[in-house]
Amino acid sequence: MSRKEFRTLADPEDVRKTIASLSLASGTEYVGLETAHGRVLAERIAADIDVPGFDRASMDGYAVRAHDTIEATEVEPAVLDLVGAVHAGEKPEVTVEAGTCVEISTGAVMPEGSDAVIVVEQTDETESADGEPRIECRSTVTPSENVMLAGADIAAGMRALGAGTRLTPREIGLLSAVGCESLPVVKPPRVGIISTGEELVRPGEPLESQRGEIYDVNSHTIAAGVEAAGGESVVYPHAGDDFEEMERLLRQAANECDLVVSSGSTSASAVDVIYRVIEDRGELLVHGVAVKPGKPMLVGRLERSDGDHSAYIGLPGYPVSALTIFRTFVAPAIRQAAGRPEPATASLTGEMATEARSEAGRLRLLSVGVFEDSEGRQLVYPVDKGSGATMTLAEADGIVRIEPNTDYLSAGETVTVELFSPAVRPPELLGIGEDDPALSVLVDQVGSTRYLPMGSREGLRRLRNGLPDFAVVAGPGDRPEQTVSLGGWHREWGLIVPEGNPDGIETLGHLVDREVRFVNRETTSGLRSSLSNSLTALAETRGVSRHSLVAAIDGFDTTVKAFESPARRVLEERADVGLGLKTTADKHGLEFVSLGDQRVELLVNPNRREKPAVDRLQAVFETLSELCPSLSGYRFAGE
């Protein structure tokens, strides 16, 4: 199979124009008022009736002939005979003649002969000489005063709402008032979603990691994006890399949907075949766009069984790339087809906290996080774990566009952040450092905190550079002189081994001397630093080099990120020994060989000490021992 090459990358603006040329419209459908909320009118609605359909009183009082009150004053009121009453919902059975009036309630039909209402507060009740009820009017009224005339709200034939109006509760109320029962609305574009790749498994199904299987992230992520843009999503079974199966699914989706969106199988790799299906069964208009992330993007048409075509867009397989390209190019097209306006712009101006490099010749959509310093300035930092890292989706607040002719953004440079939505609220606190179970409890209780578990060494480095509000560091290492320590806790660390300790691991020396498979922590971890120091001490005791001890450990360079990962590898029999914590071993029913007690310290950026959120962090920290009663091997202040 020949390899497809990206010979010419399309300009992003040209890609937008190409997508705009594709027809995604679904037409019109009729819905009842009870399901119309949020829909978009496809046609103008004109009123068939007057609203109100009768002259009605807008105040409680008395229906009168205005001429009868023309000379009324407080001193010489006009006196009218009371000849009846009319209440809301009643048909008047009385007529107002000269010199008479009728008691009337708000909303009631004006009786024949009346043309105004005098409010009850401007009248007094009295009687005639023969005991008949009379009303004294102490002020004048003009014709139509305190009366809503028929059609004053909406007149028959009047344009009530125009095409393109999105129906909210107030529009629903207006349509109810004119008696609309069935409404012509824009039919949302139907979008078929197909994720490709032999390795994909739907969430909820058994996952075989040994076979390289991963959960399908894109199907539900893109489906949610389609719904948010006003479309109707249809998720199809995921396709493997078989040409015939991929062709079958794509053609089925094309017959049933206005737009087909796939993810994966769009790159230039020889195993990515989807572009060949489009070329054979439709028309490929774009293959590759000059943007990062998301270069391997496809745009085209797929032939339907009726000879017409459905629009097709192929997204990259990596979740970050797929969602970025969807937001940038696909969601606007769906909104337009659904009659939805572009969402309210959500952006902010901030200052780059660190440098961010780009790639010449391509528009870069850099995922970033945002937080405030103690002076209220918005600080912006890259969140770039790679296109395949799904945590980027949760840790980023928006994107910064780096134009093709820009090599990098320098620290301190002013940038505009396009937030993912107006609802995005940057966290009040940013922390970086060691991954630790007690720290997880602390962050949960503080709230509005983003914590990046990048390891103690990285936490210290970023703290020296002034980025985070706080850092959590464990094990040996110099602390920056200007930091403020809120205190800390101790945790027991060592070697995690299977239940029964089948290899008889009792000391660090056994890890060196015995043929066991070891799994280590990443180099930035405080646990890794403590292990390295202990190996140095062991080498001095034995009179050998530390390098020789490290070389004797099978898997010393096999590293994992999180504090539970070594225990899980031992539990799954993928390793015989793992570097970890006593509390993790106990949690998973494994045995533990203690190598020492390690201090974990909570350090605060001195320039952020005055932030109210830092005070909240300290207050919660002081109760941490009460919040973590189940963490074995932990000692907190005062214990």
Work out the pLDDT band at 25, boundaries 50, 70, 90: confident
Residue 639 pLDDT? 58
pTM flag (> 0.85): no
Average pLDDT over residues 369-386: 84
Average pLDDT over residues 63-73: 96
The CA-atom distances, in angstroms, between 382 and each of 272, 352, 354, 400, 545 are: 30, 9, 8, 9, 40
Residue 385 pLDDT? 61
d(CA 374, CA 372): 7
Domain 56-148 adopts which CATH fold?
Molybdopterin biosynthesis moeA protein; domain 3 (2.170.190)
Residue 169 pLDDT? 92
Assigned token pair, 441? 């409890």
Which of 341-345, 364-368, 587-591 is predicted least confidently? 341-345
More confident residue, 193 or 637: 193
Residue 238 pLDDT? 82
Residue 390 pLDDT? 62
Residue type, position 197, single letter: G
HSE on the CB side for 260, CA within 13 Å?
30
d(CA 136, CA 134): 7
Q: What is the DSSP letter of 390?
A: T
To 10 degrees, what angle do helices 12-20 and 331-338 make?
30
Strand pairing of 259-263 and 190-195? parallel
Residue 435 pLDDT? 93
Could you tell me which of 347, 621, 320, 638 has the C-alpha nearest to residue 487? Answer: 621
pLDDT exceeds 50 at position 100 = yes
Residue 236 pLDDT? 94
Q: What is the DSSP letter of 51?
A: B
Strand pairing of 577-581 and 484-497? antiparallel
Average pLDDT, the chain: 90
Convert 10-38 to b/e letters by CB count within 10 Å (16 or more is b): bebeebbebbeebebebeeeeeeeeebee
Q: Are 342 and 315 in contact (CB under 8 A)?
A: no
Digit-coded pLDDT (tens) for 495-506: 999 999 999 999
CA angle 416, 422, 425 (to 5 degrees): 80
pLDDT exceeds 70 at position 377 = yes
Strand pairing of 408-409 and 356-357? antiparallel
pLDDT exceeds 60 at position 44 = yes
Residue 202 pLDDT? 83
pLDDT exceeds 50 at position 382 = yes
Where are the strands (E) in 42-129, listed by range?
45-46, 56-57, 61-64, 78-86, 100-104, 116-119, 123-127
Q: Is the peptide bond before 293 cis (omega within 30 degrees of 0)?
A: yes
CA angle 332, 336, 342 (to 5 degrees): 60
Average pLDDT over residues 404-431: 88
d(CA 384, CA 395): 10
Work out the pLDDT band at 541, boundaries 50, 70, 90: very high
3-state percent breakdown (helix, strand, coil) of the chain, nearest 5:
25, 30, 45
Residues in the chain: 639
Residue 271 pLDDT? 44
Bridge partners (DSSP) of residue 200 are: 214
Query: 28-51+153-186 and 56-148 share one CATH topology?
Result: no
Average pLDDT over residues 318-343: 89
To 10 degrees, what angle do helices 218-228 and 331-338 make?
40
Work out the pLDDT band at 393, boundaries 50, 70, 90: low
What values do phi and psi take at 117, rounded to 5?
-130, 130
Architecture of domain 433-636: 3-Layer(aba) Sandwich (3.40)
Residue 389 pLDDT? 57
Q: Are 88 and 106 in contact (CB under 8 A)?
A: yes
Residue 61 pLDDT? 97
Which CATH number is correct for 12-25+189-338, 3.40.980.10, 3.40.50.1820, 3.50.30.50, 3.40.390.10?
3.40.980.10
The CA-atom distances, in angstroms, between 87 and each of 110, 112, 120, 149, 203 are: 10, 14, 14, 17, 62
Residue 231 pLDDT? 94
Query: What are the residue ranges spanned by the domains of the chain?
Result: 12-25+189-338, 28-51+153-186, 56-148, 347-426, 433-636
Domain 347-426 has CATH 2.40.340.10: yes
What values do phi and psi take at 333, rounded to 5?
-70, -40
Domain 28-51+153-186 adopts which CATH fold?
Molybdopterin biosynthesis moea protein, domain 2 (3.90.105)
Digit-coded pLDDT (tens) for 490-530: 999 999 999 999 999 999 999 999 999 999 999 999 999 99
pLDDT exceeds 90 at position 277 = no
Task: Looking at mean pLDDT, say which of 7-16, 147-156, 589-598 comes out highest.
Answer: 589-598
